[in-house]
Amino acid sequence: MFNKSHRLFWNNARKEALAGWLFLAPEFIGILLLGVFPLVFSLYLSFSEWNLVGGLSTIHFIGLDNFKLLFHDEKFFMALKNNLTYTLVTVPLGIFMALLLSVLIQSRVYGKDYFKVAFFIPYISSIIALGAIWSALFHPSLGPINQTLIKLGMTNPPKWLGDTHYSLIAIIIISIWAALGYQIIIFIAGLTNIPEEIYEAAKIDGANATQQFFKITLPLLGPTTSFLFITTLMSSFKVFDLIAFLTSGGPNDSSTVLVYRIYEEGFRNFRMGYASAISWVLFLIVGLITLLTWKLQKKNN
């Protein structure tokens, strides 16, 4: 009786389902261990005090003290201000430049394939290697950028990465340049999906190039632009490697951002609880901005 019921239960459908779940099990386990658990643990740490060097036994719950401390942390507000400035400049300016260049490459430039590769190479290159190159370009006295400015008549060119007023500007320039190739490729992919018949009909109706751009290209590139806007917006709040390599957040915290502030508190000052609190504030900021962006897009559509 047992063997019969056992055979009835383990029919072919259930065996196939079990095989599927067994194949999916490593992925689920990986998500739980590398995704869900760190997320939950960091949330608990944000309400705790923990010196990383002391081990797990030194964790103790302190409630909202870490979040209260944020409102009195000048470095946190400086990092937040720099991050917002970085985002407000790199996102719209980068997308605008990528859109303009992609339209020019797609319609008016010979050797399109060469320019696609040329613009895309910085994106696939090591960001540290790019940072090293730009560090040489931005050298205060020997760099070609300042040498050119001196030849043009500027007696006291900026020190760029070593200047409190220009360090963040230098990081913004490098970031826009490094991401430009990816954005151009995405825009060109969107442009190739626009039927040529639409432009031909517009030409017959007497529309010039400017009218075609604003009446045809921009509206039909709406989904592509929205995708790039959201992804670039989220990545702008995760900038870290360039700052860590080129300025270490300086001089005088003029180029520090939220992710670097998290690293500084967690892995230099070993205050993992406070670092987790900052990370959750960053998570909420990015989540709210992304949600607001989606709502505005739905409203416009």
Looking at the structure, tell me whether residues 59 and 168 fall in a common domain.
no
pLDDT at 45: 92
Q: Which residue from 127, 147, 126 is spatially nearest to 137, judged by alpha carbons?
A: 147
**Residue 265 is part of a domain; what is its CATH number?**
1.10.3720.10
Looking at the structure, tell me whether residues 98 and 141 fall in a common domain.
yes
Q: Report in angstroms the alpha-carbon separations of 28 from 25, 31, 36, 39, 40.
A: 5, 5, 10, 15, 16
pLDDT at 67: 93
Looking at the structure, tell me whether residues 59 and 90 fall in a common domain.
no
CA distance 101 to 43: 43
Average pLDDT, the chain: 87
Report whether pLDDT(256) > 80: yes
Report whether pLDDT(6) > 60: no
Looking at the structure, tell me whether residues 47 and 73 fall in a common domain.
no
**Which two three-digit tokens encode residue 268?**
């230099």
Angle between helices 74-108 and 112-124 (to 10 degrees): 160
Looking at the structure, tell me whether residues 61 and 113 fall in a common domain.
no
Burial 49-58 (b: 16+ CB within 10 A, else e): bbeeeeeeee
Q: Quick check: 159 and 181 in contact, CB under 8 A?
A: no
Q: Quick check: 254 and 158 in contact, CB under 8 A?
A: no
Looking at the structure, tell me whether residues 74 and 61 fall in a common domain.
no
Domain boundary among 65, 99, 117: 65
Average pLDDT over residues 8-33: 81
Domain boundary among 65, 87, 118: 65
Tell me which residue range forms the domain holding 259. 67-300
pLDDT at 272: 92
Q: Quick check: 115 and 105 in contact, CB under 8 A?
A: yes
Total-model pTM: 0.85
pLDDT at 279: 94
Looking at the structure, tell me whether residues 59 and 89 fall in a common domain.
no
Looking at the structure, tell me whether residues 55 and 76 fall in a common domain.
no
pLDDT digits (tens, 9 = 90+) for 148-193: 999 988 888 999 998 999 999 999 999 999 999 899 989 988 988 8
Report whether pLDDT(4) > 60: no
pLDDT digits (tens, 9 = 90+) for 102-157: 888 887 666 677 777 777 888 888 888 889 999 999 998 888 999 999 998 888 89
Looking at the structure, tell me whether residues 154 and 273 fall in a common domain.
yes
The structural domain count of the chain equals 2
From its phi and psi, is residue 50 left (phi > 0), alpha (psi between -120 and 50) or beta?
Answer: beta
pLDDT digits (tens, 9 = 90+) for 186-222: 998 898 888 888 888 888 888 888 888 888 888 889 8
Looking at the structure, tell me whether residues 20 and 76 fall in a common domain.
no
Looking at the structure, tell me whether residues 23 and 115 fall in a common domain.
no
CA distance 222 to 230: 12
Average pLDDT over residues 256-284: 93
| 51 DSSP 8-state letter | B
Average pLDDT over residues 241-261: 92
Report whether pLDDT(46) > 80: yes
Domain boundary among 10, 45, 65: 65
Looking at the structure, tell me whether residues 42 and 169 fall in a common domain.
no
